[in-house]
A and B are shown apart, each in its own frame.
Chain A
């Protein structure tokens, strides 16, 4: 059973989909560093690709992603042209070095583009990077999956799919601007299975307006009925001063911190009781799913898509705002689609921000990742008095054990995992705001 210690959760902390986080990126990294990182890729190195489609047919009010309405065909075409150009540029620079084994399409909603455009995009990526049989994954907006798209998912052999479900409750759906009846999700789940999707993920949220434990419970029950292979249960972060579209959400209808904590715990317990294995601090997977197996075998990793079984140390992000991860560098493309297109049109890699990963920074990152992925890590031998003091707060409450130079999280410390990880983040010291509550 989880115990609520509000005093430990007071400080907002990063989600650590990378370390250093994107909030620490600055303009000291540009296309030169990106090019140098590509130059260092040795032949045969496993490389994963992430392709960002920053469009949605409708914009949901809660969403903090880099997206725009896909309502103008010309804007979409211009973006896709730039994306094709960027793919050709990156692939040409790699010149056959690197073996692309995985391609993930995210957004936004990749299915906001035409199925025909997607097939061409995929074909061009495969040819450009000599990727004859990549493992394909895609994020899907369930409200807009045409018959043509299902056909494409089948023929293109897309194996991993993730759907934004968030909540099945009609009142909650209306309050976040995302109406998608349960029956629709039910029939789409069947269609995706028929189309050959082997691992299907549902994104769910707690902490939404008009949501309490009873409302969340009903969504969980209906989720179990559809038996997705994976579930991610995220806490909604209400930061309208950072994300303007969230101003449409009625803040007075949001549950308080205590209720959020209890919802997170209830979700965790319910999913575990129904056969799901916890993966990291907010993912769950059926025991036979590759993600669950990776967690069992200590092969779990953290990247911009969350927890993953992808072990490639090189991730190349393509498209506006996409982030590339190299052993020694994080590099983020221009977020603004116009700036992105202009850079690509001029023959430049559209990298705008990033950070160099020093050896010390990589060590911090590895420990933070170990804590989040496995609840276990080797302590550095130069802990500061402040760090020791912070660790004691968790140790005294039985949330961690420190033994033989290792830190181990109690299974009931999951809601504190990010906060514990942040103790080892030297960049946290001078940070104020901008992050979300840990639960």
Chain B
């Protein structure tokens, strides 16, 4: 069965560097996995055996601190690439936050394929640079931002990354379903659930967003939301 032909993220994922027949060849060495919330795909510190494309869902990258606490170091969305080909260490735990659908490869298979397809190797470097940018924003978000700034950034990020399946390179969605509840948002952003609810209500009162249901967010005034988020950008 050719998953790739119908893949939601094929135009945005790392495999978009490849021609159709090459995608099919890569698809043959890939396997599909479905994860439930809380399920860990890759463990920190283990030899890097696996790399993956996110097809659907949201996953968190985290490291464990020696006192047992968990530090979230990033969130990945559909079309993102997970893992470190051409490296021997995995630095992060990769754990599903929602139901998730990923397409995995053994590192060695992926590396062999990438060596034969330099455009894929090139894309990998681009992706890694993209991750560096995300890392910067993430660190800024955790370290420097106020609760409103954090939440505004997070909502904008989700609206850009959770575009409806099948589309490619399109403008951000003004309406989207939150992939997780208030408590999880609070955990990811290092806030309390009360703060998250209060700030969402503030945005609602200012007519920046509408919240038609527990899970639904509609961005009414993207400029205003961006202004709040931009207070803290680099």
* A132 x B139 contact (CB < 8 A): yes
Are A119 and B132 in contact (CB-based, < 8 A)?
A: yes
Residues of A close to B87: CB separation below 8 A:
77, 80, 116-117, 120
Across the interface, do A119 and B89 meet the contact criterion of CB distance under 8 Å? no
Sample of 12 more A-B contacts, CB < 8 Å, known A123-B128, A131-B139: A81-B89, A119-B132, A120-B128, A126-B132, A126-B136, A127-B91, A127-B139, A130-B143, A133-B234, A148-B122, A151-B125, A155-B133
A 328-374 contacts with B by CB, 8 A: none
A-B contacts, 17 listed (Cβ < 8 Å): A81-B88, A81-B89, A92-B66, A116-B87, A116-B128, A117-B86, A120-B128, A122-B132, A123-B132, A127-B73, A127-B91, A127-B135, A131-B139, A132-B139, A133-B234, A151-B125, A156-B132
Query: 1/0 contact trace for B71-87 toward A, CB 8 Å?
Result: 00100000000001011
State the CA gap A124–B129 with chains docked (Å).
12
Cα-based distance from A132 to B135 in the complex (angstroms): 8
* Contact A114:B132 (CB < 8 A) given known A127-B139, A132-B143: no
Bound complex: CA of A77 vs CA of B132, how far in Å? 20
Point out the residue from A119, A133, A151 that lies within 8 Å of B140, measured CB to CB: A133
A35 on the B face (CB < 8 A) = no
Decide yes or no whether A152 CB sits under 8 A from chain B.
yes
Compute how far the CA of A133 lies from the CA of B132 in the bound complex, rounded to whole angstroms: 11
Is B18 an interface residue, CB under 8 A from the partner? no
* Interface check A84, CB cutoff 8 A: yes
| A98 sits at the interface (CB 8 A) | no
Residues from chain B with a CB closer than 8 A to the CB of A148 are 122, 125
Interface string of B149-178 (1 = CB under 8 A from A): 000000000000000000000000000000
CB contacts under 8 Å to A, within B104-145, are 122, 124-125, 128-129, 131-133, 135-136, 139-140, 142-144
Residue interface mask B85-105, A partner, CB < 8 A = 1: 011110100000000000000
Q: How far is the CB of A132 from chain B (nearest CB, A)?
A: 4
Any chain A CB within 8 A of the CB of B65?
yes
Closest residue of A by beta carbon distance from B134:
A123
Q: Are B132 and A84 in contact (CB under 8 A)?
A: no
What chain B residues lie within 8 Å of A152 (beta carbons)?
Answer: 125, 129
Q: What is the bound-complex CA distance between A127 and B65, given in angstroms?
A: 13
| Nearest residue, chain B, Cβ from A77 | B88
Q: Return chain A residues, CB-CB under 8 Å to B84.
A: 120
Chain A 106-124: CB-based contact to B (< 8 A → 1; otherwise 0): 0000000011110110111
Tell whether, in the assembled complex, residue A119 and residue B128 are in contact, meaning their CB atoms are under 8 Å apart. Answer: yes
B231 shortest CB reach to chain A, Å: 15
The CA of A130 and the CA of B142, in the complex, are separated in Å by 9
Q: How many residues of B contact A (CB 8 A)?
A: 26
Query: When A114-B86, A119-B132 are in contact, do A126 and B124 touch as well, CB less than 8 Å?
Result: no
* Other-chain contact of A156, B66, B129, B144, B234 (Cβ < 8 Å): B129
| B residues lining the A interface (CB < 8 Å) | 63, 65-66, 73, 84, 86-89, 91, 122, 124-125, 128-129, 131-133, 135-136, 139-140, 142-144, 234
Residue on B nearest A117 in the bound complex, by CB: B87
Contacts of B88 in A (CB 8 A): 77, 81
B129 touches which one: A84, A119, A131 (CB < 8 A)?
A: A119
Say yes or no: A92-B65 contact (C-beta < 8 A), given A117-B87, A120-B128.
yes
> 0/1 per residue, A137-150, Cβ < 8 Å to B?
00000000000100
Nearest residue (CB) in A for B132 is A123
Expressed in whole angstroms, the Cα–Cα distance for A148 and B86 within the complex equals: 15
Contacting pair A130 B128 (CB below 8 A): no
Contact B139 A155 (CB under 8 A): no
Given A126-B136, A152-B125, answer yes or no on A84-B65 (Cβ-Cβ < 8 Å).
Answer: no
The smallest beta-carbon distance between A238 and chain B, in angstroms, is: 41
Q: Which residues on the B side are within 8 Å of A116 (C-beta)?
A: 86-87, 124-125, 128
Q: Are A155 and B89 in contact (CB under 8 A)?
A: no
Task: Please give, as numbers and ranges, the residues of chain A lying within 8 Å of B125 by CB-CB distance.
Answer: 115-116, 119, 148, 151-152
Shortest Cβ distance from residue B29 to the other chain A in the assembled complex, whole angstroms: 21
Cβ of B136 and Cβ of A133 under 8 Å apart? yes
**Residue contact B86 to A123, C-beta cutoff 8 Å:** no
Q: Which residues of A contact B139 (CB under 8 A)?
A: 126-127, 130-132
Contacts of B131 in A (CB 8 A): 119, 123
